[in-house]
Amino acid sequence: MGEGGLHRRQRISGVRADLRRQLLLADLALRHSRARQDRLQRVRQGRVPGCARETCNAGGGTGDRHRSLQKLRSGHSAREALTNTQEQQVLRSSQEEVGEKRSPLPCLGTFDSSARSPESAGESRSQVRQAAFRAAGALVMRVLERLLARKVHALSGDLAVFASPLAVVPPREETSGMYLGVDDLERPVFLNPSSLPNMHGVILGTTGSGKSTLARHLILEARDLGVSSWVIDPHGERSYARLYRWVLLLGADKVDLLSAPGWERSELAGELARYLERIYGIIGARFVLRELLLECLKTRSLSPLKSLSEVPEVKRVYDDLAQLHEIGAPSIEELAASSVCFTFPQASSREFRSLAALVLLMLLQGYRRELGESHRFEHMVVLEEAHYLAPYILNLYREARKYGYTVVAVTQLPRELDPRIYQLAGFVIVLSGPESYVDDISYLFSLTRDERDHVLYKPRGAALLVRQGDPRPRKLFLKPRPEAFPEGEVVYEGYAEQS
């Protein structure tokens, strides 16, 4: 037998001895506990023995057992905790099972000369393997017994303890609805209105990322489902206008703003005054505006506002409303029954655009409220530059889900929207962008590194889909319809690029 075989035998014997030490200490602890319980029981029964003479079959007497356990509790290792008698028993047992004969000094171990023959070497190797397997099996069984003996605590009716491994599997994918594109596994991705709590949505992306292209694609998909739509586009893009037969250039084209079905006059006047105070920055003028607007609604005329037009703040509100309103112009009943593109002159102010969008949405809200509750997907509004109306959108998302219409907010400033809007939205689509933008998105949706890289480094068309009820963002590659692209863009298999 060479030195390699000798060292291998010594290592196996040492491992076997360590296992036996651990098992012996566990057995000693169990015996010690049982002895204490028996002694306490005898004390209670009035039979107190003079001394405990029980001996432990494996590991010496009661005194040795007690000293070993005390050392183990004080932080000694298993080798240090065992007494000389116990240690000799462990070594003797491990040496006998391995087939090894060693001198009292482990470092000077010798073997019988008969072990050098090939037959004896083969038998020794077989014995070593069997001993190792027995030791490992005993240890595994003890570990399993301890694990199975553990008590699992749970609340009454709590099924978490019985959770299936399939709980980590993604939910079933939709196969119908509004087509978006494919995921990272080339599976088609749909937005199904019937499976979402609501169809309110948010589209996030920087300039040039394809927000408007995606919004136009959703309009075309909704049209195939028989859903009418509005677009409120402050930029006046022709790409939206060419999808609609009815296009209103607000400021040149008028709307009857004072016909407001579904609203109490005082309620509408109060809501308008509250938001006008924010839009125009008129601090402390809410109650004055409320009374003036209430008179306008009662008389169906803007004359009450005109009478105070010498006040600069009131004059700005009056001038903007006068550009929008006209008796006999299309009413909200006509507009809500059709698909309309609302756009603005290039020179119009931000306040004018915000006012027009606010009034149109409030008129639509009252009209749909008057029609009664409907959980069907019947009308969709795409609102560009939605961050200007963030406070109103929050209130709208809370209510509009039960009246059959939805608002898709499009913005390039994710932090400008109230975080509760993302919680109420049925879906959020995040487009790609630079690092500062992706940092904001990561903060809002707690993205993983892989999800973050998907919208940071992937080409145009890469996006994340977050659906209400599924907190895990879905990586996807958008596939908009060719009609959704602006003029001057060349459509290729992935997405679009400027020609």
Domains with residue ranges and CATH for the chain: 3-148 (no CATH), 178-255+334-498 (3.40.50.300), 257-329 (no CATH)
For Cα atoms 417, 423, 427, give the angle at the middle one, nearest 5 degrees: 90
What's the pLDDT band for 486 if we cut at 50, 70, 90? Answer: confident
CA distance 418 to 390: 7
492 pLDDT higher than 70 = no
What is the bridge-based pairing of β-strands 201-204 and 403-411?
parallel
15 pLDDT higher than 90 = no
50 pLDDT higher than 50 = no
Task: Give residue-wise pLDDT tens across range 426-445.
Answer: 999 999 999 999 999 999 99
What's the pLDDT band for 107 if we cut at 50, 70, 90? Answer: very low
Tokens linked to 11: 């290592």
What's the pLDDT band for 51 if we cut at 50, 70, 90? Answer: very low
290 pLDDT higher than 90 = yes
Contact (Cβ atoms closer than 8 angstroms) between residue 275 and residue 282: no
388 pLDDT higher than 60 = yes
DSSP state string for 124-189: HHHHHHHHHHHHHHHHHHHHHHHHHTPPPP--TT--GGG--GGGGSPPPPP-SSEEEEEETTS-EE
Could you identify the residue written with the tokens 């406070």?
391
Q: What pLDDT is stored for residue 281 in this prediction?
A: 87
Q: What pLDDT is stored for residue 61 in this prediction?
A: 52
106 pLDDT higher than 80 = no
Q: What pLDDT is stored for residue 459 in this prediction?
A: 84
DSSP state string for 27-60: HHHHHHHHHHHHHHHHHHTT---SS---EETTTE
381 pLDDT higher than 70 = yes
Average pLDDT value for residue range 50-58: 42
79 pLDDT higher than 60 = no
| Residue 222 burial (CB count, 10 A) | 24
Q: What pLDDT is stored for residue 160 in this prediction?
A: 54
What's the pLDDT band for 356 if we cut at 50, 70, 90? Answer: very high
**Percent of the chain at pLDDT above 70?**
65
CA distance 86 to 63: 12
Average pLDDT value for residue range 376-391: 91
Average pLDDT value for residue range 388-395: 90
104 pLDDT higher than 50 = no
Mean pLDDT of the chain: 78
Q: What pLDDT is stored for residue 167 in this prediction?
A: 53
- Residues with Cβ within 8 Å of 449's Cβ and at least 6 positions away in sequence, in order, are none
- pTM higher than 0.75 for the full model? no
Helix H, strand E, coil C: the string for 327-364 is CCCCCHHHHHCCCEEEECCCCCCHHHHHHHHHHHHHHH
Q: CB-based burial of residue 341 (10 Å sphere; 0-12 exposed, 13-18 middle, 19+ buried)? A: buried
**Higher-scoring residue by pLDDT: 38, 103:** 38
Lowest mean pLDDT among 2-16, 53-67, 139-153: 53-67
CA distance 177 to 335: 26
Task: Give residue-wise pLDDT tens across range 242-275.
Answer: 999 999 999 999 999 999 999 999 999 999 999 9
170 pLDDT higher than 60 = no
Task: Report which DSSP code applies to 402.
Answer: G
Q: What pLDDT is stored for residue 28 in this prediction?
A: 66
**Higher-scoring residue by pLDDT: 428, 69:** 428
Average pLDDT value for residue range 272-285: 88
Average pLDDT value for residue range 361-371: 92
CA distance 366 to 355: 17
**Higher-scoring residue by pLDDT: 419, 459:** 419
DSSP state string for 66-98: HHHHHHHHTT--HHHHS-HHHHHHHHHHHHHHH
Q: What pLDDT is stored for residue 270 in this prediction?
A: 94
**Higher-scoring residue by pLDDT: 319, 55:** 319
Distances, alpha carbon 94 to alpha carbons 56, 84, 99, 114, 142, in Å: 19, 15, 9, 20, 19
Task: Give residue-wise pLDDT tens across range 178-222.
Answer: 999 999 889 999 999 888 888 899 999 998 889 999 999 999 999
Average pLDDT value for residue range 400-408: 83
**Higher-scoring residue by pLDDT: 10, 407:** 407
